[in-house]
Structure 1
């Protein structure tokens, strides 16, 4: 009985992983082969070229997805969690100084690339699916763009309601999608079995050798077959390694290979079908239902990417790379289901602009791939560092593997560089913008902490003076939020200066974020009594956890520090930042940091402090 329940639970998680993790890569057959033989490249769809492209796609799926990500990168988990920022945190754990700083830059660059990719992915996927209507009849052509915009708008509008209910359908729908991919592919292969010869890597080698620069440029289309691979690692914390691997080898990989080879067989038999080999592979009676299923699959793929960017943004906020934002939880049971209004509306606006600007999936393909391959290169470098420094694997074993991965990643990235002029500048520009914002915020916070430390009064001597020559004491507890544990909070000094009183009990509260996803309950709180009336509380959270002051107060009670909320006041320092010529950052970056600081979510909302118990005291800081 227990075994049956275990098998049922395993199947359920695997099915869920199928819906979330493989949505993007699962919809790549809609456009990969079409773009490889697109008119912009001019590659002739003859026997050798078709088998060459199929061979490259097949071995790309095997080496990049099956070996690199599923066998190697998925090992680099931070207490079960994955993602580019998690990988960066792991890589930096044992490395300090300039090498550690360079690893941080790589991680932030990878995060920037992800933001660039997430704007193109929904537009590219949904447009590719809806364009299937044109295959049914050219009369639908004028309606492709409006329908795509309606579908995409609806997708972003439902985000605030959460995806818990709809998410239960993701797995079954994607299972049906992959089964359809496989069935369509088998039909094409049976009509032309010689296409199976492309399993031999020699065809890929011949294609590259015979076509020279044209073959190199074609890699920019071939890489579309593995878009969304980063989701395998990013979503590891939601499903675990085993379900992700099981779903890939049991269903996703066979379905993708069969469908690509079926499309190839169709093109060999009818080269004209290369205009849209995916939909041409379907019988006429199944075309409209297939367009509907494809649209649903691309919506699911887009949802997975949107959820991924929400998760990445929360990690970046907690790790101090992005200002505090309003983060809403859409599920009482799933901590990973969140909604970030500012990010959602920014994405919607950007996606609509992208669709209107590019118009077709083929035009969008010209911008797609450069961010994906850039992230792949960074993932290889960071995961190799983790293998060498964290796992202590011998260099003789790690370096040849890294060299093999880079021999694939670097050419794929280089083959996409030519897309910059045709639209590839868009994800790079978005990535550069996010990189600038994240590094400016991180460096700005470091400078702010330095300036505050310069002005700080040592805590120990101050407390001794307060106990020896106390000012007027008033009943109640005062909690002073402070980012440092060794200096007197500015809010405390301002309160003494202006109000000339001190509460009977003073608590100095510091909230820190560790570079790990979760903190054990036993390690959450450190409570120390500094004197008869002064206490210090340090609360530590993981970057996937939401700090909650009410929870902190409740956890402090066993340490002899009980709180009565109606008798407790929270004092926060609200800094007014002024850009100066002092060394630190360029003036324009200082001004950018000041602007971000002004627009950051208030600490009272972020830390869930009761608003009617808060006193904010201003402080002016010159950067």
Structure 2
């Protein structure tokens, strides 16, 4: 629970980070609906019908689904697909649905990467396209300026976003205020547009123009992109500040802007070329384009930071190999930089901007990833309703079924955009899914192979009475809490000595985001100076082995790092023709294993105190 004094600051922060994506949707949503790949005639009837669809889509998909329902399913305060997956995995085991839940959670995380590539590209590009409204002769500069801004954005990631982040809230407050003011000014000229708040306009449009309405859904979804971020970023700000910011500020200003664009189109149908920028008077275009660009950069920053967080969660939960994770702030543990993820996203974003050329073409690629993620979230929250909240099946069917109808309608409409660019997020999603599941499967096979080569610890301890012991402490890192580590057996075989104190350390990742300090360490004293040490971390935490060893003083065990040697096993994976894994996936796993960040760096072990022993494994 956050203190009352902290709520205003958290609310401002939430406006700056959480609502960046959905807050920049007015730049392109209405334009794409009426002027995109499936254009809709700009008539008063159609305008009011579309506005009603946009409004009620926002209310159902964001206000009801995410803010009112899904945000209740927090994993100790954390949100997002992987946090939701971790939350219900244990409950699903007893019902035999683990594999379904796991696959859905992994695929939702995979689709997020497609979304995180498209969002910076379409957001910044749509803002810079305002240059064409200022002066059509500036069109050739749109792509170069967009690439310059995006390059700068990805380059500064390694410096951290703490200082810039403090400005996000006030800037986005100004942005949302501008959205509301521009929309309110136009609504004041044509207040009749507010009639579209009545859902009957949407229902009538769907009944009389069912084909057009179905095609329109593929673009209407652009108005709710970013809604899933409310749940993903819940751990940073808490549910109450996000809900307060949404209902009191973000939602009203967004609705005003969409209705303002609708009012403008009722009086000036030709403004459809760029309804957002035509809301402003000519003298305000330059500052508005500048402000829109800044807002889209902030929205992109939030998505990039989210990709870093998902990467760390995936590493900790065993879906990705160890990667270099840089902490860019000594105070805020959530501020991290993952170089591999950063530059992979950058290359994809540059390719998207150059390949698609304008925001309208990119809009065709947008939507599939978002609607796919939203669809999976509905299925996962249905599991939560049944397994955790213990709702009656009739209530689950009514609530989850109703949401599923909306999700399926949006998703099926976006399927039509696959030939025009929707293939890209699907391709990225499938590639990411393959990588995540391959690593998970490969590590399981490695663990099974290591277990075969291991021997029981009690049998080992009974056989080492005559082994020469040397002064100091040896720490052997092992992935399993059973048996004898391969590195220990290799060291004994080649050096024929053991240290006077031997510590077998296993790091476990829990299905909670954080672990309390008094629950972090389990220490078991064994015979012959052996100690079994199990160190537990949450999936949002970074392992620190020296720090954990220092915490063992409460168990009566102290460690001098200058007299401690860390033994690590480095496995060389040899793909074989077995039924355990296809040849291509085995080669992919071997490649990922070879390029994984060293355990020394990942676990923060002093490099001068490490001995690595190699072992070859066939899978």
TM-score, normalised by the number of residues in structure 1: 0.98
TM-aligned CA deviation for residue 559 of structure 1:
1.1
Pair 1:76-2:76 in alignment: no
Provide the rounded CA distance (Å) in 2 between the counterparts of 1:532 and 1:7.
55
Provide the rounded CA distance (Å) in 2 between the counterparts of 1:582 and 1:370.
36
Deviation per residue, 1:448-489 (Å, 9 max, x gap): 1111111110111111222xx331111111111111111110
Which residue does 1:437 correspond to in 2? 435
SS for the counterpart of 1:576 is: strand
Q: Which moved more, 1:37-46 or 1:155-164?
A: 37-46
Provide the rounded CA distance (Å) in 2 between the counterparts of 1:504 and 1:187.
79
Q: Which residues of structure 2 form unaligned runs of 5+?
A: none
Q: Is the 8 A contact 2:521 2:548 kept in 1?
A: yes
Which residue does 1:164 correspond to in 2? 162
Which residue does 1:49 correspond to in 2? 46
SS for the counterpart of 2:463 is: helix
SS for the counterpart of 2:558 is: coil
Provide the rounded CA distance (Å) in 2 between the counterparts of 1:587 and 1:556.
44
Q: CA RMSD in A?
A: 1.1
SS for the counterpart of 2:557 is: coil
Deviation per residue, 1:156-192 (Å, 9 max, x gap): 0100000000101100000001111111111111111
Pair 1:459-2:443 in alignment: no
Matches within 5 A, 1:56-205: 56-96=53-93, 99-205=97-203
Which residue does 1:533 correspond to in 2? 529
Matches within 5 A, 1:224-243: 224-243=222-241
Matches within 5 A, 1:189-588: 189-466=187-464, 469-588=465-584
Q: Is the 8 A contact 2:507 2:535 kept in 1?
A: yes
Provide the rounded CA distance (Å) in 2 between the counterparts of 1:457 and 1:430.
42
Provide the rounded CA distance (Å) in 1 between the counterparts of 2:36 and 2:327.
46
Provide the rounded CA distance (Å) in 2 between the counterparts of 1:101 and 1:368.
28
Provide the rounded CA distance (Å) in 1 between the counterparts of 2:229 and 2:466.
58
Provide the rounded CA distance (Å) in 2 between the counterparts of 1:422 and 1:581.
39
Distance 1:331 1:403, change over 3 A: same
Deviation per residue, 1:513-534 (Å, 9 max, x gap): 0111001111100001111411
Q: Is the 8 A contact 1:118 1:309 kept in 2?
A: yes
Pair 1:16-2:13 in alignment: yes
SS for the counterpart of 2:91 is: coil
Pair 1:610-2:613 in alignment: no
SS for the counterpart of 1:443 is: helix
Provide the rounded CA distance (Å) in 2 between the counterparts of 1:313 and 1:223.
26
TM-aligned CA deviation for residue 280 of structure 1:
0.4
SS for the counterpart of 1:473 is: strand
Provide the rounded CA distance (Å) in 2 between the counterparts of 1:335 and 1:89.
21
Provide the rounded CA distance (Å) in 1 between the counterparts of 2:39 and 2:68.
36
Q: Is the 8 A contact 1:91 1:383 kept in 2?
A: no
Provide the rounded CA distance (Å) in 1 between the counterparts of 2:245 and 2:515.
30
Deviation per residue, 1:133-163 (Å, 9 max, x gap): 1111112111111111111111101000000
Provide the rounded CA distance (Å) in 2 between the counterparts of 1:582 and 1:141.
56
Provide the rounded CA distance (Å) in 2 between the counterparts of 1:557 and 1:464.
28
Which stretches of structure 1, 4 residues or more, deviate above 4 A after TM superposition? 5-8
Q: Is the 8 A contact 2:567 2:611 kept in 1?
A: yes
Q: Is the 8 A contact 2:177 2:253 kept in 1?
A: yes
Q: Which moved more, 1:195-204 or 1:556-565?
A: 556-565
Aligned residues: 617
Provide the rounded CA distance (Å) in 1 between the counterparts of 2:36 and 2:147.
26
SS for the counterpart of 1:545 is: coil
TM-aligned CA deviation for residue 576 of structure 1:
1.2
TM-aligned CA deviation for residue 6 of structure 1:
5.9
Q: Which moved more, 1:484-493 or 1:34-43?
A: 34-43
TM-aligned CA deviation for residue 214 of structure 1:
2.1
SS for the counterpart of 2:365 is: coil
Q: Is the 8 A contact 2:33 2:39 kept in 1?
A: no
Provide the rounded CA distance (Å) in 2 between the counterparts of 1:104 and 1:525.
27
Pair 1:601-2:597 in alignment: yes
Deviation per residue, 1:513-566 (Å, 9 max, x gap): 011100111110000111141111000000011100111110112212211111
Q: Is the 8 A contact 1:123 1:354 kept in 2?
A: yes
TM-aligned CA deviation for residue 582 of structure 1:
2.9
Q: Is the 8 A contact 2:71 2:239 kept in 1?
A: yes
Distance 1:583 1:454, change over 3 A: farther
TM-aligned CA deviation for residue 39 of structure 1:
4.9
Q: Which moved more, 1:211-220 or 1:160-169?
A: 211-220
Provide the rounded CA distance (Å) in 1 between the counterparts of 2:178 and 2:440.
47
SS for the counterpart of 1:488 is: coil
Provide the rounded CA distance (Å) in 2 between the counterparts of 1:232 and 1:224.
16
Which residue does 2:586 correspond to in 1? 590
SS for the counterpart of 2:507 is: strand
Q: Is the 8 A contact 1:34 1:277 kept in 2?
A: yes
